[in-house]
Amino acid sequence: MVADNVALALAGIAAFDTLALMIVGVAAGLLAGAIPGFTIAMAVVLTLPFTFSMDPAQGLATMIAVLVGGLSGGLMSGILTGIPGTPSSVATTFDGFPMARRGEPGFALGLGVWSSFCGGTLSAIMLVLFAPQLARIGLEFQPWDFFMLVMFALTVTASLAGENMIKGLIAGAVGLLVRTVGEDQAVGVGRFDFGIDPLLGGFDFIAVLIGVFAFSQLLSDIRDPKSARESLSERGNVRIKIEHWRAIKAIARRWTTMIRSALIGMFTGILPGAGGSIANILAYDQAKKASKTPEKFGKGEPEGIIAPETSNNAVEGGALTPLMALGIPGDVTAAIMLGALLIHDVVPGPTFIAEEPVLAYSIFIAFFVANFIMLGMQSVMLRVFVLVTKIRMYMLAAVILSLASIGVFALHNSTFDVWTLFWFGVLGFFMRQFGFPLAPMILGVVLGNVAELNLSRAFAITTDLSPFVTRPWSLFFMTIAIFSAAFPYFQSARAKGAAWTRFYFPAVLIAVTVPFVMMGGTIRPLIGAVCFIAGCYLLFRRSKTTAAASDPAA
């Protein structure tokens, strides 16, 4: 049965038209990733309207191709011009650009390309192995658990997205609010339509996403008249040849860095709201700490390229895992993927892999195939990159805005959607200007319906609120949501040396013990016991250190 489904999925992905679309997708992603200011999420969201006429597997394969290409594209401009193409390749420039400047741009690019490939492939393996297991756990979830999972996702995103937690939470609430406009899902009563007929249908969330993300990003990119007229071509040398073999040997010698960075990327990807922009810095930092020659970092050290490039490509396998297993996206691009699935009437959730096995395997296979295509396309796209860097940002912005309006209109053949794009573009732009993070808002828009639907289901079962704390998974998500909400305060207090911050992590470990024990069985209470013992041990050690530090006689 599994073999049949895999064979069907493979046949779909290996079809000439799908492969051709994936090649175009990877090429477009590589270019989008290479252009500073043009984010991966923007590329993926702009691809979405082109996939309407495709079947779901083909459409998703194309979007995955854009995504994988985008994740690797940032390294080209980062290494050759010193300007990271995407936030997820910021750390790549730390050593990539110095290496290119000292005369080894081909080696630097080779390291980046092969590290991206390794990170992507490892995370694809993780996606295949872990998504079905996580989906099995997801089958235990009841409406209370799903509701709390959404709340947890929003809280974590808000706490990680910016330096001001309140702004992040406000953005999340605005996102949830946007989804309440129009007829409610349960009984079909109109809400916040103010007598305007098109509002009864609600805002199309793809139009909202393109507006909030792409439109507002383009406005921010062209805000400065001087930089809007600039092109990248004046900077850096872009006529080089990638040194593949030398790079492979260098990565093989530093395989521990690669594995560690891939794990960092995957874990960061699973965490809602934490994407490649965090993973690449984290992996770079860990590689530097683990290195015997940390002083070489920043001067063209190969590990300084391997670590960030492996981790930022590993992120997406992690982000797609909760999406495919639970229907909860791990980051903004996964949220757009969720939108693509919903457009094709496919609702991801714990039963998704079992009910839509061919589509699920198609996603797995497309993820693998896209990484191989990316490897082959990098050398070709390097030449196109030279041409693209001659284009000025204002030209790109004007053309993309026009194309976005055509794509958004094609959603439902509705001019109202283009108006939605415009107004949410304006909103997104001002949110950026005033320091409100967009990721929580986007997650709020995407998950708003899931939250309300599950709350409605929970109330249909019982009006009693106690299951939110008596159901183990709900309690688990509530506990970590509370701790994640406190995380920004923990960080700032730790920087000031506050004593209570020493007890934050032990408290997290002890608090999660309760839901683990409540889950029953053998393994989960055991995990709970391990958490409890580890928490108590840390508590004991840190109490001793605190006492010693406060004792003047010591």
How far is it between the farthest Cα atoms of the chain? 78
Among positions 10, 137, 177, 518, the unique one binding another protein when judged by CB under 8 A: 177
Site membership for another protein, residue 186 (CB under 8 A): yes
482 binds another protein (CB under 8 A): no
Q: Which of 20, 129, 180, 383 binds another protein (CB under 8 A)?
A: 180
Q: Which of 1, 17, 53, 345 binds another protein (CB under 8 A)?
A: 53
229 binds another protein (CB under 8 A): yes
Instruction: Please answer whether residues 251 and 114 qualify as being in contact, where contact means their C-beta atoms are separated by less than 8 angstroms.
Output: yes
Is residue 50 close enough to count as binding another protein by CB under 8 A? Answer: yes
For the CB of residue 406, give the shortest distance to another protein in the complex, in Å.
5
**Contact of 485 with 493, CB cutoff 8 Å:** no
Applying CB under 8 A, does 52 fall inside the site for another protein?
yes
Q: Is 526 in the site for another protein (CB under 8 A)?
A: no
Give me the least distance between CB of 434 and another protein, in Å please.
6
C-alpha to C-alpha distance for 37 and 222, rounded to whole angstroms: 9
170 binds another protein (CB under 8 A): yes
CA–CA separation, 164 and 235 (whole Å): 35
Closest by Cα among 146, 95, 159 to 350: 146
Stretch that binds another protein, among 85-93, 122-130, 176-184, 517-525 (CB under 8 A): 176-184
From the CB of 145, what's the least distance to another protein, in Å?
A: 17
Instruction: Please give the Cα distance from 383 to 42 (Å, whole number).
Output: 23
Task: Say how far apart CA 210 and CA 389 lie, in whole Å.
Answer: 24
Q: How many CB atoms lie within 10 A of CB 293?
A: 9
Q: Which is nearer to another protein, 174 or 527 (CB)?
A: 174
Q: Please tell me the distance from the alpha carbon of residue 54 to that of residue 47, in angstroms, as a whole number.
A: 12
How many residues touch another protein (CB under 8 A)? 62
Report the residue from 91, 207, 397, 485 that binds another protein according to the rule CB under 8 A.
Answer: 397
Shortest distance (Å) from residue 361 CB to another protein: 27
Considering the complex, state which of residue 229 and residue 249 has its C-beta at the smaller distance from another protein: 229
Q: Is 194 an interacting residue with respect to another protein (CB under 8 A)?
A: yes
Stretch of 1-9, 114-122, 220-228, 267-275 lying at the interface with another protein (CB under 8 A): 220-228
**DSSP alpha helix (H) spans, 291-331:** 303-326
Cα separation, 456 vs 68, in Å, equals 37
**Helix spans in 327-438 (H):** 332-343, 352-355, 357-388, 393-412, 415-433
100, 113, 156, 222: which one contacts another protein (CB under 8 A)?
222
Please report, as a single letter, which amino acid is at residue 131: A
**Should residue 200 be labelled a site residue for another protein when binding is judged by CB under 8 A?**
no
DSSP 291: -
Query: Closest distance between another protein and the C-beta of residue 51, in Å?
Result: 10
Decide if residue 409 touches another protein (CB under 8 A): yes
Long-range pairs of 230-235 with CB within 8 A, sequence gap ≥ 24: 230/392, 230/393, 231/389, 231/390, 231/391, 231/392, 231/393, 232/35, 232/36, 232/77, 232/81, 232/83, 232/389, 232/390, 233/386, 233/389, 233/390, 235/81, 235/82, 235/83
- Cβ proximity to another protein, 137 vs 401, nearer residue: 401
Cβ 426 to another protein, closest distance in Å? Answer: 7
Residues 547, 261: Cα–Cα separation, whole Å:
36
> What's the min distance (Å) between Cβ of 539 and another protein?
31
Site string for another protein, 376-395 (x = CB under 8 A): ----------------x-xx
CB of 432 to another protein, least distance (A): 9
Of residues 421 through 480, those in contact with another protein by CB under 8 A are 422, 425-426, 429, 433-435, 451-452, 455-456, 459-460, 463
Report the alpha-carbon distance of residue 9 to residue 255 in Å, rounded: 32
Helix/strand number for the chain, H first, E second: 26, 0
Choose the binding region for another protein from 335-343, 357-365, 418-426, 476-484 (rule: CB under 8 A): 418-426
Q: Which residue do the tokens 């704390």 mark?
A: 469
| Residue 405 found at the interface with another protein (CB under 8 A) | yes
- Cβ of residue 362: shortest distance to another protein, in angstroms? 21
Please, what is the minimum distance in Å from the beta carbon of residue 194 to another protein? 7
169 binds another protein (CB under 8 A): yes
Q: Which amino acid is at 353?
A: I
Measured from the CB of residue 257, what is the shortest distance to another protein in angstroms?
A: 32
The reply on whether position 191 binds another protein by CB under 8 A is: yes
Residue 475 tokens, joined: 């309690």
CA separation for the pair 155, 272 (Å, rounded): 9
d(CA 8, CA 254): 38
Q: What is the DSSP letter of 421?
A: H
CA 299 to centroid of chain Cα atoms? 29
Q: For another protein, which is the closer residue by CB, 267 or 416?
A: 416
For the bound state, the minimum distance from the C-beta of residue 481 to another protein, rounded and expressed in Å, comes to: 13
Coil, helix or strand for 403? helix
55 binds another protein (CB under 8 A): no
The three state secondary structure string of 223-254 is CCHHHHCCCHHHCCCCCCCCCHHHHHHHHHHC
Where along the sequence are the contacts to another protein (CB under 8 A)?
50, 52-53, 162-164, 166-167, 169-170, 173-174, 176-177, 180, 184, 186-187, 189-192, 194, 218-219, 222-225, 228-229, 392, 394-395, 397-399, 401-403, 405-406, 409-410, 413, 415, 418-419, 422, 425-426, 429, 433-435, 451-452, 455-456, 459-460, 463
